[in-house]
């Protein structure tokens, strides 16, 4: 989200307004905006100060761009008023109260369920698929909540879509769920049921909501012609309107907290073929989601760490003799995925830290040690891992020094 244009009362009013609208991009009258942030709730004690702040908030003063006006001339009129010492301080409501505006969507992004996306696809689901035969919408939503975060999604006809695509799942002429595509794999030959491949979706991005019908879709995409049995590519230009609609439909993520145990469990349970281990160290964009509780999380794939673990042959990369027990899920030596540069520092890096180059396969003891041991005990481990991964990290446009890495753990 862009920074506010200052720390004046006008900017504080706008920040307060954002907390009230919760990502809603609908049209408001200026009087309705005022009703959302009445003076008694703002901490401003004088009417003159409050009215001037309201006028300034709608203006272009100090390069403010907080609103999109139906009447483009109004921004200039508000700017003139804000700069005029002889202004009518209540003009914002008395003269312009019925005028309509929208909050500039760039300031709502932190409230949106998904960060900015590159593409949106509708993926039809058939009730003729053996897995879904006879199932209601509610049954399928339970499947999304309880099953999909930990498994592959088989397909017969695959989408031509890249990682990071927002997929809207269509079932019985409704959109019933959403998720961000992690990877698409084609089988060497079709498997039982005629499936030609499978998708993996980022577990923390899988979300449910009150189903969207045709009228809901036309509110976002005015040219939407209906639900089809084939995939549809939707215009990304109305992304803010879609995010606002999903908020109105009570969107909730199936995994609504960033739990380390759930994360490691999801990695264990996902099944990949060794043929899919085409690891290429290259930069990737980070993906952020906002939970229904308003907490922002950087999404972590379960496919990427699984590839890192499989490429390490299920061995601890600090000491390959560390074999404590066999996993009941994979029937392999039990190891865990560890981000060398922790995900909590993603804000410091432009490119994603959730890449194979940044993920180390560790036995549970070494993993606990790197998190919970004294810093002196960690230093040799970190130095060892850094030397092994420094060049690979640079290929992913992740540049950090050993000293900076130490600071992340100290």
Rounded Cα distance, 135 and 348, in Å: 45
What is residue 256's predicted lDDT score, i.e. its pLDDT?
A: 60
How confident is the model over 359-369, as pLDDT tens digits? 999 999 999 99
Q: Which CATH fold topology does 120-253 show?
A: ph1033 like fold (3.10.590)
Rounded Cα distance, 248 and 261, in Å: 31
What is residue 212's predicted lDDT score, i.e. its pLDDT?
A: 96
User: Which of the four pLDDT bands, split at 50, 70 and 90, describes residue 396?
Assistant: very high
What is residue 293's predicted lDDT score, i.e. its pLDDT?
A: 59
By the 8 A CB rule, do 398 and 349 touch? yes
How confident is the model over 10-55, as pLDDT tens digits? 999 999 998 888 767 778 999 999 999 999 998 898 999 999 999 9
How confident is the model over 188-205, as pLDDT tens digits? 888 888 889 899 998 888
Rg (CA), the chain: 25
Average pLDDT over residues 105-121: 81
Specify the pTM.
0.72
Burial of 329 (0-12, 13-18, 19+ CB in 10 A): middle
How confident is the model over 300-344, as pLDDT tens digits? 888 899 999 999 999 999 999 999 999 999 999 999 999 999 999
Strand, coil or helix: what is 121?
strand
Report the share of the chain in percent with pLDDT over 70.
96
What is residue 248's predicted lDDT score, i.e. its pLDDT?
A: 84
Where do the CATH 3.10.590.10 domains begin and end in the chain?
120-253
Please report where in the chains the tokens 């972590």 appear, as a residue.
Answer: 300
Q: Where would I find the beta strands (DSSP E) of 72-213?
A: 100-103, 120-124, 153-155, 166-170, 175-191, 195-201, 207-212
Q: Does residue 281 surpass a pLDDT of 60?
A: yes
Q: Tell me the pLDDT of the chain averaged across its residues.
A: 89
User: Which of the two residues, 57 and 302, has the higher pLDDT score?
Assistant: 57
Residues 6+ apart with CB under 8 A from 279: 307, 308, 311, 356
Rounded Cα distance, 130 and 250, in Å: 30
């Amino acid at each position: 989200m862009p920074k506010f244009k200052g720390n004046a009362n006008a900017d504080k009013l706008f920040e307060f307004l954002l907390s009230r609208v919760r990502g809603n991009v609908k049209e408001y009258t200026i009087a309705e905006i005022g009703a959302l942030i009445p003076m008694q709730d703002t901490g401003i004690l004088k009417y003159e100060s409050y009215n001037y702040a309201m006028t300034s908030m709608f203006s272009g003063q100090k390069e403010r761009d907080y609103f999109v006006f139906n009447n483009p001339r109004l921004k200039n009129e508000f700017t003139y008023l804000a700069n005029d010492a002889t202004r009518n301080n209540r003009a914002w409501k008395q003269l312009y109260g019925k005028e309509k505006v929208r909050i500039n969507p760039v300031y709502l992004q932190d409230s949106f369920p998904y960060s900015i996306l590159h593409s949106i696809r509708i993926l039809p689901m058939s009730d003729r698929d053996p897995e879904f035969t006879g199932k209601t919408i509610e049954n399928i939503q339970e499947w999304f909540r309880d099953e999909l975060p930990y498994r592959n999604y088989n397909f017969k006809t695959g989408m031509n879509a890249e990682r990071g695509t927002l997929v809207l799942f269509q079932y019985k002429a409704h959109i019933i769920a959403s998720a961000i595509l992690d990877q698409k794999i084609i089988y060497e030959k079709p498997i039982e049921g005629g499936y030609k491949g499978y998708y993996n979706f980022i577990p923390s991005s899988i979300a449910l909501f009150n189903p969207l019908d045709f009228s809901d879709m036309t509110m976002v995409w005015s040219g939407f012609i209906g639900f089809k049995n084939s995939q549809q590519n939707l215009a990304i230009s109305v992304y803010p309107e879609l995010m606002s609609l999903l908020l109105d439909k009570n969107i909730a993520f199936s995994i609504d907290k960033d739990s380390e145990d759930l994360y490691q469990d999801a990695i264990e349970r996902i099944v990949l073929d060794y043929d899919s281990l085409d690891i290429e160290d290259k930069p990737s964009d980070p993906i952020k989601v906002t939970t229904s509780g308003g907490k922002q999380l950087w999404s972590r794939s379960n496919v990427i760490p699984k590839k890192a673990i499989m490429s390490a042959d299920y061995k601890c990369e600090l000491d390959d003799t560390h074999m404590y027990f066999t996993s009941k899920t994979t029937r392999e030596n039990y190891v865990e995925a560890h981000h060398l540069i922790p995900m909590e520092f993603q804000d410091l890096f432009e490119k994603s830290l959730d890449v194979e180059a940044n993920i180390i396969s560790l036995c549970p003891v070494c993993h606990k040690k790197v998190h919970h041991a004294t810093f002196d005990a960690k230093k040799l481990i970190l130095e060892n891992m850094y030397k092994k991964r420094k060049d690979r990290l640079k290929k992913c446009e992740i540049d950090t020094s050993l000293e900076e890495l130490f600071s992340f753990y100290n």
